[in-house]
A and B are shown apart, each in its own frame.
Chain A
Amino acid sequence: DAKTTQPPSMDCAEGRAANLPCNHSTISGNEYVYWYRQIHSQGPQYIIHGLKNNETNEMASLIITEDRKSSTLILPHATLRDTAVYYCIVRVGYSGYALNFGKGTSLLVTP
């Protein structure tokens, strides 16, 4: 699976958009970008995933650059409950192998 690079921490004011970047410059053509988050010691929560098109669901939007070497997870109106560690994972979609969570980005949403 391709390696990802995320900033270790970010802050965001409540109500503002949180934009979390992820660099995956070695991504190959059949690898998807997945985002998960983990709120303090709870089980990780799936957020969104995509291959090359931008994606949106009720939780977030995923913007993938045209060359697919980086992506941004957008939480449009961050709340205090969005404070969590966010993991960007790149992997072949259909695989029985492990999700490599890496270190992720610790997002702190402040009042």
Chain B
Amino acid sequence: EAQVTQNPRYLITVTGKKLTVTCSQNMNHEYMSWYRQDPGLGLRQIYYSMNVEVTDKGDVPEGYKVSRKEKRNFPLILESPSPNQTSLYFCASSADGLFYGYTFGSGTRLTVV
């Protein structure tokens, strides 16, 4: 089944403790991106990647890092999480961002205390 898999689904962590949210897609898509969703603010893009080793900032990149060493994986790294990064995170991928739209993962609900 074609899908984007995120892990973990739920995570509670403490301020300052580094964490990684993994994202993997099995569709050989070139484009991948990360979004966060907050009440009243909607979905906002954090980072995106157009191919292996090609990444760029989205609208809200502060406090996050990404890497794209392989086509299928696009992990989101929070080196020193803070409570304002408590949010619902989605990873998405697309073959070309044109004809087929984006496939989103099921989400990771992160709480930073």
- When the two chains form the complex, which single residue of A49, A93, A96 contacts B56, counting CB atoms closer than 8 Å? A96
Interfacial residues of chain A within 21-56, with CB under 8 A of chain B in the complex: 32, 34, 36, 41-46, 49
Q: How many residues of A contact B (CB 8 A)?
A: 20
Indicate if the CB atoms of A43 and B98 lie closer than 8 Å. no
Indicate if the CB atoms of B33 and A98 lie closer than 8 Å. yes
Whether B105 is near chain A, meaning CB under 8 Å from some CB there, is: yes
- Closest chain A residue, CB of each to CB of B59: A98
Indicate if the CB atoms of A34 and B98 lie closer than 8 Å. no
- Closest chain A residue, CB of each to CB of B56: A96
Which B residues touch A102, using CB under 8 A? 42
Known: A44-B104, A94-B98. A99 touches B48 (CB 8 A): no
Distance A96 CA – B109 CA, assembled complex (angstroms)? 25
Interfacial residues of chain B within 28-44, with CB under 8 A of chain A in the complex: 31, 33, 35, 42-44
When each residue 73-99 of chain B gets 1 if its CB lies under 8 Å from chain A and 0 otherwise, what string results?
A: 000000000000000101010001111
Output the residue of A45, A97, A103 with the most chain B CB within 10 A.
A97
Whether B102 is near chain A, meaning CB under 8 Å from some CB there, is: yes
Which B residues touch A93, using CB under 8 A? 97-99
- Closest chain A residue, CB of each to CB of B102: A46
Chain B nearest CB: distance from A101 CB in Å?
4
- Closest chain A residue, CB of each to CB of B98: A93
- Known A43-B90, A46-B102; 13 more pairs at CB < 8 Å: A32-B98, A41-B109, A42-B106, A43-B104, A43-B107, A44-B102, A44-B104, A45-B104, A94-B96, A94-B98, A95-B97, A98-B33, A98-B58
B residues apposed to A, CB below 8 Å = 4, 31, 33, 35, 42-45, 48, 50, 56, 58-59, 88, 90, 92, 96-107, 109
A residues apposed to B, CB below 8 Å = 32, 34, 36, 41-46, 49, 93-99, 101-103
